[in-house]
Amino acid sequence: MYRQLSLLVLAGLTAGFGSTSVSAQTAAAPVATAASGPAAVERQEWELRRQRFLQTLQLLKQNDALARRDFERQVRAFEQRPFSLTPLEAMDYIGAVFVPQAGVEKLLPLVAAQAALGLYDVQRFGSTLSEAHLMEVEGFLLRPLVLVGAEQTEKSRAFLRDQPERAAQLVQEGLQLANGERIGPAYDTHWVRALGRCAPEIAANCPPLRDVPVAEWDDIWAKVKQRVTGYYRFATKAAPAASAPAASTPASAAR
């Protein structure tokens, strides 16, 4: 059995995803554009897959029966293998479905794990534009905590504020989980090259893509762990606005 599956089982998330309450919460999620680059650039498979999921969320608002069945299928597939998708896709699922259903405390290890893997990928294979798109446009690290709106944003903030030691422990559990997953990932770690890419006619002037030697990966991982640990540590002042899934300010350090 996958380690990640047991994590979700312990979180109590293996039943009830066809329920009205979950669909209602999910349908409330703001759906950002899935396009990660200019229209002239052909999208990668993960981008098309992400677009389908976000479109399914939109259709749920209209009580579309086919969308509901598709939603249940997609969610159950993610539940069984949450590390089979790119970290950005995973943050969509976690923020739109799992955090509203089970709460931040139960999902924080998975949030931290996906956060670390995404940063690890972009630092090894992305460009400076890729990283800017991931952090500034997608609001990657903040996304699962705020995606469904103001109420969930405040719940996320309250947990990090009121239980900082517990939150820190859960983040470390997530980093341990991610450390195992990074060794033999089930998804294409070069996915980040689709972020912030330039159209072919101006590609020559774009920042180069990274291709960091394997010998340096452990050093990158050590820095990623420090970054994730610090990001989800709560500071004293106001949390970001609920409409800020694309903001770069961390929930833990919003001032």
Please give the structure tokens belonging to residue 220. Answer: 């990158």
pLDDT at 37: 45
Determine, yes or no, domain membership for 71: yes
Determine, yes or no, domain membership for 241: no
What's this model's pTM, rounded to 2 decimal places? Answer: 0.81
Determine, yes or no, domain membership for 185: yes
**Element of type H or E holding 167:** helix 164-181
Specify the amino acid at residue 150. A
Please give the structure tokens belonging to residue 203. Answer: 């590609």
Specify the amino acid at residue 234. F
Determine, yes or no, domain membership for 196: yes
Band the pLDDT of 30: cuts 50, 70, 90. Answer: very low
Determine, yes or no, domain membership for 238: no
Cα distance between residue 246 and residue 136, in whole Å: 6
State pLDDT tens for residues 65-120. Answer: 999 999 999 999 999 999 999 999 999 999 999 999 999 999 999 999 999 999 99
Determine, yes or no, domain membership for 154: yes
Determine, yes or no, domain membership for 246: no
Please give the structure tokens belonging to residue 233. Answer: 């540590």
Determine, yes or no, domain membership for 236: no
**Residue 46's domain spans which residues?**
3-231
Angle (CA) 99-16-14 rounded to 5° is 70
Specify the amino acid at residue 166. R
Q: How many domains does the chain have?
A: 1
